C-alpha cells in the first residue's frame, strides 16, 4: 500500500522567511512518481513539480526548491523568501507506475501555510 504523510498541519511564517514543508512517503514499488500541488483559497490544485524515483537530483525553480532523499523516503519542499501570495494548502502526492495502484495518486493531508506581512 502507498501512503503519504505530511506531519505539519499548519505553518505560519512572516514574509521573507524561508519555510520547508515536509513530505514522507511509503511504497513497495521501485518505480514511482512524487508530486507537489498548491491549493490557494480559490480551490484549484496547481501543479508544482513531478519527480520520478530514479531522479534524486534536487530541483530549484525560482524561490521553490525540492529535496528528494530516497534513503529517508522524503520529498521536502522549501520556499525561500516567502511572500503573502504563497499562503495556501500544499499537498504532496505519490503515484506508483506499476501494479494494482498504477496511476492512482495518493495525497497527503496537506500543510496549510500562512505567510504574514
Partner 1 sequence: ETGVTQTPRHLVMGMTNKKSLKCEQHLGHNAMYWYKQSAKKPLELMFVYNFKEQTENNSVPSRFSPECPNSSHLFLHLHTLQPEDSALYLCASSPGREPADTQYFGPGTRLTVL
- Contact positions vs partner 1 (CB under 8 A): 32-33, 35, 37, 42-47, 50, 52, 91, 95-98, 102-105, 107-110
Of 42 and 57, which CB lies nearer to partner 1 in the complex structure? 42
To the nearest whole angstrom, how small is the minimum distance from the Cβ of residue 16 to partner 1? 29
To the nearest whole angstrom, how small is the minimum distance from the Cβ of residue 5 to partner 1? 10
Nearby residues of 50 by Cβ (< 8 Å), 6 or more positions away: 33, 34, 35
CA distance 113 to 105: 22
To the nearest whole angstrom, how small is the minimum distance from the Cβ of residue 14 to partner 1? 27
Question: Which residue carries 521501485 as its cell?
Answer: 30
Amino acid at each position: 500500500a502507498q501512503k503519504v504523510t505530511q506531519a505539519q498541519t499548519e505553518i505560519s511564517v512572516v514574509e521573507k522567511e524561508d519555510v520547508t514543508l515536509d513530505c514522507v512517503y511509503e511504497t513497495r514499488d521501485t518505480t514511482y512518481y512524487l508530486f507537489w500541488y498548491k491549493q490557494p483559497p480559490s480551490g484549484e490544485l496547481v501543479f508544482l513539480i513531478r519527480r520520478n524515483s530514479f531522479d534524486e537530483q534536487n530541483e530549484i525553480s525560482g524561490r521553490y526548491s525540492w529535496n528528494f532523499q530516497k534513503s529517508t523516503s522524503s520529498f521536502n519542499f522549501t520556499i525561500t523568501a516567502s511572500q503573502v501570495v504563497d499562503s495556501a494548502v500544499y499537498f504532496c502526492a505519490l503515484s506508483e507506475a506499476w501494479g494494482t495502484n498504477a496511476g492512482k495518486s495518493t495525497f497527503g493531508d496537506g500543510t496549510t501555510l500562512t505567510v504574514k506581512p
